[in-house]
Structure 1
Amino acid sequence: MAVFNRLTLIKLVELCLAIAIFWLHYNTFESEHVKLFVESTTFMGFLVVVVGTFLGLITGSPVNKTVDMYFCVAGAVLYIASGSLTIQHFQGWTFRSSVSNMGLTKGSLAIIQGVIFLIDGFFTFKAE
């Protein structure tokens, strides 16, 4: 049985943002190895994690609370770090370039996603 509550709504927002950020990452792929590794593993890895946790909530078999808290904290740290690296990379570019605009959007959305992971972690911690 599907369970729709505040946590499910937050997971749905996380899923939508993860898909949008991954699509933007695909279109603004750069070649700096360390930044690229952190960003790619964050964006693709947590897309898989968010899909899994969302499907677990929808099907009525959610992930264990401790595991979900781990995903929330790790996701928040990695998304904020990746967003900061992305903004730092695209900040010096001219704003007339569509790639730089998409890169800055990707970085901003990644930081917003990190904050949403923190909010999700708070609600997961408070859930009974």
Structure 2
Amino acid sequence: MAVSRLSLGKFLELVITITCLVLHYKSMGESDPHAIILASGTFVGYTVILVGLFAGYILSTPINKRIDIFFSLIGCALFIATGALILQDWNGGIHSALRTETHKLAVAKGWLAIVNGVLFFLDVIFTFRD
């Protein structure tokens, strides 16, 4: 089983998603309920989706290219929106004056979510080109 560029990208997306999920657990102190719900749903949902994609890859049953592009486009939008809401809440909201360990974890979570959104967008480009 050869390791492709796309499978390495998916693995990196999964690692960042799980990292965001752990950071969300450690720093869940957002004051905006929409940010909490969006972050929880995005991180847990995409952990399940990406693990399912890897199960298909390991069992040699690849996912349809259109479905993969669909999941990646939605993931791009969700991760960027989640990261923006988290950063807005922690840097511009009631938490902006606090520079605690929780604040640092939350800001890291927000930036990692945005980076993962960009990776999902690059995944769309590479999947479309293949």
AA aligned to 2:49 is V
Q: Is the 8 A contact 1:86 1:103 kept in 2?
A: yes
Q: How does 1:37-116 map to 2 (within 5 A)?
A: 37-92=37-92, 93-94=96-97, 96-116=99-119
Q: Distance in 1 between matches of 2:78 and 2:88?
A: 15
Residue 34 of structure 1 deviates from its aligned partner by: 1.4
Q: Is the 8 A contact 1:87 1:107 kept in 2?
A: yes
What residue number does 1:18 align with? 17
Residue 16 of structure 1 deviates from its aligned partner by: 0.5
Q: Secondary structure at the match of 2:61?
A: coil
Residue 95 of structure 1 deviates from its aligned partner by: 5.9
Gapped regions of structure 1 (runs ≥ 5): none
Q: Secondary structure at the match of 2:87?
A: helix
Flag as ranges the 4+ runs of structure 1 deviating above 2 A: 92-96
Q: Secondary structure at the match of 1:91?
A: helix
AA aligned to 1:63 is I
Residue 52 of structure 1 deviates from its aligned partner by: 1.0
Gapped regions of structure 2 (runs ≥ 5): none
Residue 60 of structure 1 deviates from its aligned partner by: 1.7
The two structures have a TM-score, normalised by structure 1, of: 0.92
Give the % identical residues. 37
What residue number does 1:6 align with? 5
Number of residue pairs matched by the alignment: 126
Q: Distance in 1 between matches of 2:59 and 2:2?
A: 8
Range with bigger deviation, 51-60 or 98-107: 51-60
Q: Distance in 2 between matches of 1:95 and 1:116?
A: 30
Q: Distance in 1 between matches of 2:56 and 2:67?
A: 13
Q: List per-residue Cα deviations over 1:56-80 (Å, max 9, x = no partner).
A: 2233211111110100000000000
AA aligned to 2:100 is S
Q: Distance in 2 between matches of 1:3 and 1:37?
A: 38
AA aligned to 1:26 is Y
Q: Is the 8 A contact 1:94 1:100 kept in 2?
A: no
